[in-house]
Structure 1
Amino acid sequence: MAHSVKIKSIKQLTHDVKQFRVEKPNGYEFTPGHATEVSIDQEKWKDEKRPFTFTSLTGDEDLEFVIKIYTDHDGVTEALDHVKPGDHLIIRDTWGAIEYKGDGYVIAGGAGITPYIAMFRDLKTKNKLDGLHLLFSNKTEKDIILKDELDQMLGDRVTYVITDQKDTQYLKGRVDKELIKNQVDDFDKNFYVCGPPQMTEDISDILKECGASPDAVTLDDQ
């Protein structure tokens, strides 16, 4: 079922990532990690649907999405860069993209963090977040989405990896086999991986080589 919902606020989180808060229809429910297909409620765009995961929780007053804007694609996210509060989006039924299976490691690249924001927030409210560690790769420190909140929720269980900034205070380089072996102390845990397709594929292969069970590895491309 489709719902036209009003955009209540838009916040710039990084130079190319925005946070959208929209009305939540009555009775609209989902679980952390779930997604819906979103389109802009305008004649040109209403049938151009794209999947986005919720970063809000089902009990929140509003729905929230954190979306990376690709201005060079001339597509939906570029069009989202021009909508304003008061405009409407169309959302549809929810479906499972990511599901929490237990303690372990989240390995995310860039906008690949978005499916896990609601998971972290939900586990934080339940005091069950202590068993998750985050490896979060970005091009520069300024690209880190919701860094203050991640630091507050995860403390020393978050490791930032920076690929394209020479003077970074964090780990420099890519999330390769050496880095993963240095950061992961138990390959019998669950692994949640989300990022660009090549990164996701490479990390999946690395985890397999290191002895992680395929059934314990959740993969999602961004």
Structure 2
Amino acid sequence: METEELPIQTTNSTVKHIVRILNVEDVTYNVKRFVTEKPKGYVFIPGQATDVAINKTGLEDKLRPFTFTSLNDWGYLEFTIKIYKGHDGITEKMASLKTGDELIIHEVFGTIQYKGSGVFIAGGAGITPFISIFRQLKLDDQLEGNTLLFANHNENDIICKAELSYLLGENCVNILKTPLDPNIKSGIIDTQLLAAYSGNKESYWYICGPEAFTFAMMANLEELGVRKQRIVIEQ
């Protein structure tokens, strides 16, 4: 969900929980993992998100949507968040948070949910809803038949690289636009690449990334004759 620094939004939701941050750690040079308390009875479907605010004066009503990367079985919540620096946005403020600080979370929402095996197309931080889905599928022994196409600028941008490789093996395909390693061929996710995975007409196609990326992927799939009913995006 957290694919770009979106405009600050407000909500009419009456569901609010103040949760303490239990741990903050770096995932990549510009991505952090936040582990927080989990309110009693708070549940979600892997792939879903919530609106989050920082519980500090003047920031309580400045919300951003973030995807859960934890699972319901865990006793805590986890958010894997890309930090956008340089324009005083919410994620930049979150970069300075530490253990003991508090967040405000709201009700659960989101339409990215697992419907069946297929191809997951992620652009950058758009991988986050897929992380919890893959973790749940691993627990349920249902990872077989799923492929990840993960687009990034270079190797340093790949979020949870080791875990995704472990979960999906050769079905985790990293596509790098400007790789640092000269032995890695550069590329993008285009119609030609997607055509190689479009043999099964019953496969689902899951897309998450910046808005322009999502629209481009949908156009590519439409060109390949994929039915809209088989495409899962955030509405």
User: Normalized against structure 2, the TM-score is what?
Assistant: 0.90
- Residue aligned with 1:119, SS: helix
Gaps of 5+ in 1: none
Change beyond 3 A, Cα 1:151–1:204? same
Q: Which residue of structure 1 lines up, in the alignment, with residue 216 of structure 2?
A: 202
Distance in 2 separating the partners of 1:214 and 1:28:
32
Q: Which residue of structure 2 lines up, in the alignment, with residue 70 of structure 1?
A: 84
Gaps of 5+ in 2: 1-14
Matched-pair contact (CA < 8 Å) for 1:161–1:170: no
Give the letter for the 1:49 counterpart: L
**CA offset at residue 56 of structure 1?**
0.2
Matched-pair contact (CA < 8 Å) for 1:19–1:67: yes
Give the letter for the 2:217 counterpart: I
Q: Which residue of structure 1 lines up, in the alignment, with residue 106 of structure 2?
A: 92
Is residue 21 of structure 2 the alignment partner of residue 10 of structure 1?
no
Q: Which residue of structure 2 lines up, in the alignment, with residue 162 of structure 1?
A: 176
Q: What percent identity do the matched residue pairs reach?
A: 42
- Residue aligned with 2:234, SS: strand
Distance in 1 separating the partners of 2:128 and 2:63:
18
Change beyond 3 A, Cα 1:198–1:187? farther
Deviations 1:74-122, CA, capped at 9 Å, x for gaps = 1110100111111000001111331111010000010000011110000
Q: Which residue of structure 2 lines up, in the alignment, with residue 81 of structure 1?
A: 95
Q: Which residue of structure 2 lines up, in the alignment, with residue 177 of structure 1?
A: 191
Output aligned runs, 1:206-217, within 5 Å.
Answer: 206-217=220-231
Deviations 1:120-161, CA, capped at 9 Å, x for gaps = 000100000112100000111111000111011101111100
**CA offset at residue 218 of structure 1?**
1.2
Q: Which residue of structure 2 lines up, in the alignment, with residue 141 of structure 1?
A: 155
**CA offset at residue 166 of structure 1?**
5.1
Aligned residues between the structures:
221
Give the letter for the 2:33 counterpart: Q
Distance in 2 separating the partners of 1:92 and 1:143:
29
Give the letter for the 1:81 counterpart: A
Q: Which residue of structure 1 lines up, in the alignment, with residue 35 of structure 2?
A: 21
Distance in 1 separating the partners of 2:81 and 2:111:
16
Match among 107, 113, 130 for residue 116 of structure 1? 130
Give the letter for the 1:161 counterpart: I
Q: Which residue of structure 1 lines up, in the alignment, with residue 65 of structure 2?
A: 51
**CA offset at residue 58 of structure 1?**
0.8
Change beyond 3 A, Cα 1:20–1:168? farther
Give the letter for the 2:153 counterpart: K
Distance in 1 separating the partners of 2:141 and 2:182:
32
Give the letter for the 1:15 counterpart: Y
Q: Which residue of structure 1 lines up, in the alignment, with residue 140 of structure 2?
A: 126
User: Normalized against structure 1, the TM-score is what?
Assistant: 0.95
Matched-pair contact (CA < 8 Å) for 1:162–1:168: no
Bigger RCO of structures 1 and 2 (CA < 8 A, at least 6 apart): 2
Matched-pair contact (CA < 8 Å) for 1:140–1:163: yes
- Residue aligned with 1:46, SS: coil
Matched-pair contact (CA < 8 Å) for 2:179–2:185: no
Which structure carries more strand by proportion? Answer: 1
Change beyond 3 A, Cα 1:170–1:99? farther
Change beyond 3 A, Cα 1:181–1:166? farther
Give the letter for the 2:140 counterpart: K
Is residue 63 of structure 2 the alignment partner of residue 34 of structure 1?
no
